[in-house]
């Protein structure tokens, strides 16, 4: 097995360029921030982006937890890649990761300055400092499936064409905002989620008020229940479906959380004044 390393200071765009670099040097598997990624799948590991502190993130990226390292070694043993690309902020960090995972010594070191211009590095540093945006070199659907509480957006990367007149080859990776930032920890309270759900539901035609809203959270995402008050005369199942779509879209867009289900229970109708049923 050959081990390659992509090295550069934090925030200089290593993860953004990981897929293209692995493609060019023939690496089958990428090790980045505690994750093992092959193609469009996360095969194992724990994302450093999920840690609540920077120290915790560093320990995760270095596979300091023995169980984390053991699982990663099991993945490597199963996949048996002929070439691996490890990302790190220094040569020493990459060598520590290789040692923790039982990999051979690093045979080639690629500096971020070799593959990115000074201007591109400055832009990457600005995005990290201003917006705390990080890249995970895996598709958004894969990242959300494993880490539903991370703010996620998609980003496509061009790998080139297959053959002189071949199709353009693209791969997707994810832009995330971790739970820790340089300014502290970011969390979303249940009351904030309820407010988002209520606003989304009440913007649907036929809805007088969102009524009672409950949000249940677990490791896979959130389950939302809405008891709306609808105007008399509307088509209940149609309005209910529109509420489901609106709530799911708004919550996922604004929070990055995965909405597992939106359950609607209509208990009350609002009648025009003077037309209440006898």
pLDDT tens for 239-260 read 999 999 999 999 988 876 778 8
Give the pLDDT of residue 272.
74
204: helix, coil or strand? coil
- Per residue, the 3-state secondary structure of 5-50, as one string, reads EEECCCCCCHHHHHHHHHHHHCCCEEEECCEEEECCEEEEECCHHH
Gap between the Cα atoms of 18 and 15, Å rounded: 5
- Per residue, the 3-state secondary structure of 238-258, as one string, reads HHHHHHHHHHHHHHHHHHCCC
The predicted model gives 102-128 an average pLDDT of: 90
Q: Which residue has the tokens 């959300």?
A: 144
- Residue 160 pLDDT level (bands cut at 50, 70, 90): low
Gap between the Cα atoms of 33 and 222, Å rounded: 26
- For the cut 50, the answer to whether the pLDDT of residue 278 exceeds it is no
- Residue 195's φ and ψ, nearest 5 degrees, are -65, -40
- CA distances for 248 relative to 174, 205, 223, 267, angstroms: 20, 16, 10, 21
Say which residue, 275 or 94, is predicted with more confidence: 94
pLDDT tens for 126-141 read 877 765 666 777 666 6
């Amino acid at each position: 097995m050959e081990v390659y390393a992509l090295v550069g200071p934090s925030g200089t765009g290593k993860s953004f360029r990981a897929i293209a670099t692995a493609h060019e040097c023939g690496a089958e598997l990428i090790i980045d921030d505690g994750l093992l990624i092959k193609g469009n799948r996360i095969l194992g590991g724990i994302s450093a982006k999920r840690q609540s502190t920077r120290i915790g993130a560093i320990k995760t990226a270095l596979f300091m937890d023995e169980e984390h390292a053991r699982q990663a070694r099991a993945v490597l043993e199963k996949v048996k890649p002929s070439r691996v690309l490890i990302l790190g902020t220094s040569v020493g960090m990459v060598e520590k990761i290789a040692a923790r995972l039982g990999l051979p010594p690093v045979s080639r070191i690629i500096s971020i300055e070799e593959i990115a211009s000074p201007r591109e590095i400055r832009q990457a540093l600005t995005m990290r400092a201003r917006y705390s945006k990080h890249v995970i070199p895996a598709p958004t659907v894969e990242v959300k499936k494993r880490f539903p509480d991370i703010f996620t957006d998609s980003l496509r990367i061009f790998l080139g064409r297959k053959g002189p007149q071949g199709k353009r080859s693209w791969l997707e990776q994810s832009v995330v905002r971790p739970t820790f930032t340089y300014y502290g920890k970011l969390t979303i309270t249940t009351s904030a989620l309820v407010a988002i759900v209520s606003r989304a539901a009440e913007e649907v035609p036929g809805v007088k008020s969102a009524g009672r809203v409950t949000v249940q959270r677990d490791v896979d995402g959130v389950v939302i229940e809405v008891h709306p008050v609808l105007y008399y005369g509307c088509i209940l199942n149609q309005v209910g479906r529109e509420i489901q779509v609106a709530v799911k879209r708004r919550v996922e867009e604004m929070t990055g959380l995965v909405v597992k289900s939106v359950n609607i229970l209509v208990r009350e109708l609002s009648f025009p004044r003077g037309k209440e049923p006898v």
